[in-house]
Amino acid sequence: MKVIVVGVNHAGTSAIRTLIAQNKEVKIVGYDRNDNTSFLGCGIALTVGGDVDDINKLFYSNPEKLAESGAIIKINHDVIGIDYKAQIVKVKNLETNEIIEDSYDKLIYAAGSWPIEIPGIAEEKRSLENIEICKIFQHAKELIKKGECSEIKTVAVVGSGYIGIELAEAYQKKGKKVTLVDFESRILPRYFDTEFTAEMENDLVESGITLALGEKVLDFEGQDGKVKKIITDKGSYDADLVIQCIGFTPNTQLLPDADKVVNGAIIVDKYMKTNLPNIYAIGDSNAMYHAAFKTNVQIALATNAVKSGIVAASNINGVDAIKIDSVVGTNAICVFGNNLASTGISEESAKRFDVNYATSYVEDNDKPEFMPEYTKVKLKLVYDKDTLRLLGAQVGSRGESHTEVIYYLALAIQQNLSLFDLAFTDVYFLPHFNKPFNFVLLAIMEALGLDYYKK
């Protein structure tokens, strides 16, 4: 059996490793248009800010290692066409411009996603020097170099999602004057509600970062071929460096006949199979079933990418027990002392998608007050108003992190558990770690009207 893997970063690398681990006889050919593989882009901001001292440490594999294990890896090779009926791919060698065809028995599509650039800006403005995007190793090297450049004194980060906020913190650490711009009225609106974002926004401002929220970028201004300002619908901001972090679009144009969700991500089943014969889609290219929304959704996270690669490879090798029935988009961020994690859907998302929901929010100390040290923890639950089925959760603290509690809340959403199920989970109490009524139980009691613990 011959398997072609299109794209060899997180998802593709995971699939190749799994294929070989389970079946030494399978023939694998991996194509990637980049000149490197297996780069952890989530560490870019940490390297820009100086927490990671060497960008090369963010590689956890490479083409040579994969080749040593038995795969044929061809970097600088761009797959430019897929004939799923004939089971043939057309590939361009980017070094020689030679175009070849290659056949497969099974194809794993792991072409990933690409950063979206700010729309509506003329090409001559887009081509100004020091306007960047953030995704791959080459981008990382540029962003690090510009962070060290003394001529770059002002930085505008467009997009207040995870990548944007992490980069804003990184350049602030490097002594740059940073402006964070977003057309949304607050930061991280997809993941966290105001109970969590308000404090982080205050921390950003106190650090010296300018927040330009509720503003749409309309244009860039340049001087001597370099960007100098960004223009929004409400003002202008100095910017020797502009980084566009407004989102990603899945690279799925090679499979026009695949069933897709609105943003173009390919719909897959629990084995990562598409509607096209013998083709699997993994990583940022796909849309898996979301347990809270009850429909397929693209969730571009490295964790999902790696797991989807394992599942697709296992199914190809006949291991049907390995599957992903659902995902819930579990995520976390750590900036300016804020330790936050979320899973499922937020209250704002529930409103946006007309979900019949209710919420419970509590703030409490993590340990008994008789202990020498304790930390305030925030927890919010979003649940179905009628059935009490858990739909989402958010947790935050400063200093000591309690983000790992999100793991069992994510599992609860995936398993369609209710607040009653969670309330009687067999958890421990030890003053060193928690209270008899820990903060999760307090939020459940709040939802059920059993708020006597407040008295």
C-beta of residue 119 within 8 angstroms of C-beta of residue 256? no
Task: For residue 105, give the DSSP letter.
Answer: S
Q: Rounded to an integer, what distance in angstroms lies between the CA atom of residue 237 and that of residue 215? A: 11
* DSSP code of residue 129: B
Known catalytic residue at 42: yes
**Long-range CB pairs of 58-65, under 8 A, 24+ apart, other chains included:** 58/137, 58/140, 59/137, 61/13, 61/17, 61/37, 62/36, 62/37, 62/38, 63/8, 63/36, 63/37
Helix (H) or strand (E) run with residue 169 in it:
helix 162-173
Chain-centroid distance of CA 455 in Å reads: 41
Residue among 178, 109, 175, 121 at smallest CA distance from 148: 175
SS3 assignment, position 21: helix
CA–CA separation, 168 and 205 (whole Å): 11
Q: How far is CA 46 from the centre of its chain?
A: 16
What residues are annotated to the active site?
A: 10, 42
